[in-house]
Homo-oligomer: A and B are copies of this chain.
Amino acid sequence: MRKSTRRKPSRGDGGRERFDDFLPHLIARLAYQLHLDLVEKLRQEGINATRWRILAVLAMGDGITVNEITARAMLQQSALSRALMKMEQERYLRRVSGVGDGRYVEVFLTDKGRALFNTLNIVVRRRQDRLLQGFSQPERQAALRLMRRLGRNMAG
């Protein structure tokens, strides 16, 4: 067979639809890039993104219920339930049956959990620097404002 007949398939017709001007897609793509970056950083520390989110939410203020973690950590309740069980076994956190209302379970970081958070936090915060490289302080503020505004639009 002649060499010239071998080729990598082309990229189609050039596209009658575009994504570059479709904001939800840009956001999904950016979040995905950030996620991959996060997963890789965490992998080196032997932890996955789900656990990191749980640690981070608890570090933000523990003694909260499973339900509250669900909302803040962007996880399904069932996934969270299982993750918490394992993390409790490994002594990263404690679960206490609700003091006044037995339906609730309060979750607390242990010292071990808090130490792990502190270690990871250093690594993870660098991601923000990369994301915002070349941004002036006002531009950073504008970025935060925009995200909050978009978030409100979707929440409302």
Task: State the A residues within 8 Å of B (CB).
Answer: 5-35, 37-38, 56, 59-65, 68, 72, 74, 98-101, 104, 106, 121, 124-125, 127-128, 130-134, 140, 142-144, 146-148, 150-151, 153-155
Contacts and interface: CB of A to CB of B under 8 A. Distances in A.
The oligomer's copy count stands at 2
A154 B30 contact: yes
Given A15-B60, A64-B12, A153-B131, A34 B26 contact: no
A97 to B, nearest CB: 10
A27 B125 CA distance: 14
Contact of A64 (B9, B34, B72): B9
Contact of A24 (B28, B38, B100, B148): B38
